[in-house]
Structure 1
């Protein structure tokens, strides 16, 4: 609500006047400095003398003028840079918005490390929303990294934020993501080749997105659809294991989706357990000596305390990653940690059932595989 004091008219100061004053200041100071230098050169008798003292004074005057111009230009550039970073930060926070610390009884922490300096987001994407179907989470990785992949990230995330609420089944959510990605790639192709159509050698034709869709029901039941993405790690105390070993679908983009998109049943997320979703930049990170980063080892160290929070896990893993890569990761890295704090009281039998789903000898589709 906007409140205005009675009797005092509210007048908004026009922005054009402030912009004009800034432009006048930007152009006026160099003009003044230049006028001072020209006036000294042609109007001061000292500048026409050839003695050592006169030369020293002339050099000092021109040095002061040049220094003033450099300082003025530097300040103007820094001011423009701060404004550009402010605008870019606002746009990036809208695209990859911060997740709430708690969502439907789940404690959540997420962060991304971009391979491009100055960018807070890149080719990785994640989102978590509470819906009537449960908490739905997406984690994805666009081909390539950095600022060039932001357009694809926006298309996939925008589609997920709507489909997660509209579609009752994860398979239909994935179908919406696939159609949104196809539209985005077609629009890029038309923009880059408006006359001749899509060039087969164009990078758009080879672009793909790995996607992991996860649904956590109110009782902790886990269902997932994986399209070429690494499976999350399940943390139960100091025990770290993959959530599933099922074969994933191909990534979105190059191949059509199968007609039957049944989600994989991944058991239950019990009270006190955590899931760590990540992009392949985490496990592909290398040290200067060429050694790969061991994400399970870092998670084991971070999860020794059963009461450890997702924020602590996130901080510990990113610290280990930056130390391993000497502060220079070569790919975008995203991590999302979810911890169940719904205080469910499950019996040991229910716990065993949740972690020992058996293989169905006659699966309805090839997503049904032996679970842990």
Structure 2
């Protein structure tokens, strides 16, 4: 409401400003010393009208100013006819130029608005919104881009319900902004297919590597080597018993977030996983054997917080790094973990910490286990796919 009132107030001021300018010039002409030539200042009125209130008011005001320039009030004294005729011509010229410029400006604004709508639709398809719930999990995702006006930068994430469990990818393309969107599209497109097709998580990663190599090869060519292009990737598989399996290629490990009830009366954010990850995709070929790691086990009410390195690498004006683990614990505040609230709290804290000046894209993803029971046995689909006998 306050913002709407401020917008209306500014529009009213801009609308009245040309008229106030004309009134001030006439008052100066009437009340000023004899021989003062201020009528030429009327030429500025149509320019002000075109800049602030549109084309029709510009033309109307130009006609009024032209008449005032040619027919001054009698009390203004004897005027130089040639000077006043020149002022009238200047008013007409300014009005004509302002009319043309205003028309072009309006066309460009319409084209820009249309371009923004198309870009927003394309970005929503690429980094599509996550469903609020998926197979017993509550989800929330958020993204902060360095490039103003973009929804997608160099970071990517996706969560899918597959026959093999919930599969998740989060990654970070080298660089940020529009230049990395093509690589994001290649990796996400490959994951959305492979996550459903491949029973084993390592094979999903190999599909991502092949898709990335094809994309970089098509984009680079012999005259533009792409040896320095890479993507950090964290692949996760959350099974029905809450066990989280992981493959990490140069990406930050996630945090496990427990509410106050599950953490002995105090919320806790602990790093999940450890050890040395594989190199980022694109730097070196994947090894023959991929180390599939058991990351953690999510109990009912626990959450997993995935992020890109822009979150932990963000600095304030003094050079201090952003305290992500402490901020995650503060986001719970003794209550159950609410993924959307965690995302909002961390993003607000990041913007305050950096003063709104981000140096890298930042993606955040929170998944809370809402299942009432966490069975100990492996789901039947895994037994059938792996060839184990059914018990």
Tell me which interval the TM-score lies in, with the shorter structure as reference length. Answer: 0.7 to 0.9
Partner of 1:127: 158
Shift of 1:213: 0.3
In the alignment, is the contact (CA less than 8 A) between 1:227 and 1:252 conserved in 2? yes
Partner of 2:173: 142
Distance 2:229 2:81 in 1: 69
Distance 2:220 2:93 in 1: 54
Partner of 1:156: 187
Please give the secondary structure, in 2, of the residue aligned with 1:51: helix
In the alignment, is the contact (CA less than 8 A) between 1:236 and 1:306 conserved in 2? no
Deviations 1:52-81 (A, max 9, x none): 221222222122222222221211111111
Partner of 2:290: 261
Partner of 2:254: 232
How much is the aligned-residue C-alpha RMSD, in angstroms?
2.3
Partner of 1:25: none
Partner of 1:302: 331
Shift of 1:326: 0.7
Select which of 136, 139, 149 maps to 1:118: 149
- What are the ranges of 5 or more consecutive residues in structure 2 without an aligned counterpart? 1-54, 63-69, 72-79, 260-266, 377-391
Partner of 2:90: 59
Name the one with the larger helix percent: 2
In the alignment, is the contact (CA less than 8 A) between 1:310 and 1:338 conserved in 2? yes
Higher relative contact order (CA 8 A, sep 6+): 1
Residue 207 (str. 1) matches residue 236 (str. 2): no
- Written as runs of structure 1 = structure 2, the 5 A alignment for 1:37-76 is 51-76=82-107
In the alignment, is the contact (CA less than 8 A) between 2:339 and 2:366 conserved in 1? yes
- What are the ranges of 5 or more consecutive residues in structure 1 without an aligned counterpart? 1-29, 38-44, 191-196, 351-372
In the alignment, is the contact (CA less than 8 A) between 2:132 and 2:138 conserved in 1? yes
In the alignment, is the contact (CA less than 8 A) between 2:301 and 2:337 conserved in 1? no
Shift of 1:289: 2.0
Q: CA distance change for structure 1 residues 184 and 235 in 2, over 3 Å: closer, same or farther? A: same
In the alignment, is the contact (CA less than 8 A) between 1:104 and 1:130 conserved in 2? yes
Partner of 1:223: 245
Please give the secondary structure, in 1, of the residue aligned with 2:227: helix
Partner of 2:341: 312
In the alignment, is the contact (CA less than 8 A) between 1:221 and 1:269 conserved in 2? yes
Residue 186 (str. 1) matches residue 186 (str. 2): no
Distance 1:294 1:262 in 2: 30
Q: CA distance change for structure 1 residues 345 and 205 in 2, over 3 Å: closer, same or farther? A: closer
Select which of 127, 135, 144 maps to 1:104: 135
Answer with 1 or 2: which has the greater Rg.
2
Shift of 1:306: 3.2
Deviations 1:192-238 (A, max 9, x none): xxxxx245xx4x22000000000001121110000100000000121
Pairs aligned (count): 298
Partner of 2:40: none
Partner of 2:321: 292
Shift of 1:291: 1.5
